[in-house]
Structure 1
Amino acid sequence: MTTVGCAVGVAVYILALEVIAPRHSALPLVAVQLVTMAVLGLTFSTSELIEQMAAIANQFNSLLYLSLIVTATPIWTQAVAQRWVAAHEAALLYTLEPIFASIFSFWFLGESFSWRGIIGAGLVLAATVFSQRRR
């Protein structure tokens, strides 16, 4: 059920951003999102946070990288790009994310593709192409 809730949340976010992004600067939109994520993250992790302070201090550079490069940059990129890209086109691009993740893990980490993964990637690509076919 959590997966369905997340999917609905992402869909609503993409649709809302299609309306909001053209009317506002990207930086304030991103700032609000990041502050919201930080507050919610701290709220839900407070009980574990004190116990993990040493680990957090030891991994501060990794956390900084994850915060800026992996979290803030894609949110900013989406807020800028959705000024010109329709929500349905953005959603289609997001369906390709697992395929890109697999390709990059193959190139950079030496991961291997299983037949199951190759078939799954083919199905995702086929569904994406089929959904864009003109009637």
Structure 2
Amino acid sequence: MIDFKKDKNIEPSDENLSIVLGNSFSAYKTLADKLADFDVDLEWRFYRDGGWLAKVTRKKKTIFWGEAVKGHLTIAFNFNERNKQGVLELDIADDLKRMFSNTPPNGSKITSLKIDIYSESELPDVYQLIDYKKRAK
């Protein structure tokens, strides 16, 4: 099995991602293709402490992080205290709002919203979060 956490030499190419993501690869491809509509860039980078991670940015601002995990893609949006209420006002799934509101901020007062992407049905919520994150200060 491909392990993007440990091997810097196994890059997250479409071929390798399709092996790791399995049935969720089509959702990843749909998301990756749609990012251009939001004027954001996707770049895979290798980090010694985290392995291969997808970093989605707009200019210098990080929109979200992604990680290919066996069978799905996990993405994480990070919001400061000032933007937390705005996330709860979005028209996204109630379980995402509940999970986000129950997540305590880390030491730097940043609250993360992690979403596991298994299919394209989760993407509309992701698109709203991308749009909100782009506008958030």
Indicate the TM-score class for this superposition, using the shorter chain for normalisation.
Answer: under 0.3
- Give the TM-score taking structure 1 as reference length: 0.26
- Give the TM-score taking structure 2 as reference length: 0.25
Higher relative contact order (CA 8 A, sep 6+): 1
Q: Which has the higher helix share?
A: 1
Larger Rg: 1
Q: Which has the higher strand share?
A: 2
